[in-house]
Amino acid sequence: MKVTNKSRKIIAINGEPLLPGTDMELPESFQDHPSIIDYLKKGILVDSEKAAASSAGNGISDFERAKIAEEAVSRYKEEQAAIAAAQAEKEAEIKAVQSMKKPELLTKAAGMGLEVKDDDTVEILKEKILAALDK
In a domain, 107, yes or no: yes
- Host H or E run for residue 68: helix 62-98
In a domain, 95, yes or no: no
Residue-wise pLDDT tens digits, 63-94: 778 888 899 999 999 999 999 999 999 999 98
Residue-wise pLDDT tens digits, 25-73: 988 888 889 999 999 898 889 887 776 655 544 566 777 788 888 999 9
pLDDT of residue 1: 85
Residue 8: which pLDDT band, with cuts at 50, 70 and 90? confident
pLDDT of residue 72: 93
In a domain, 83, yes or no: no
In a domain, 21, yes or no: yes
In a domain, 124, yes or no: yes
pLDDT of residue 53: 59
Note down the domain range covering 113: 100-135
Label residues 34-56 b or e (16+ Cβ within 10 Å = b): eebeebbeeebbbbeeebeeeee
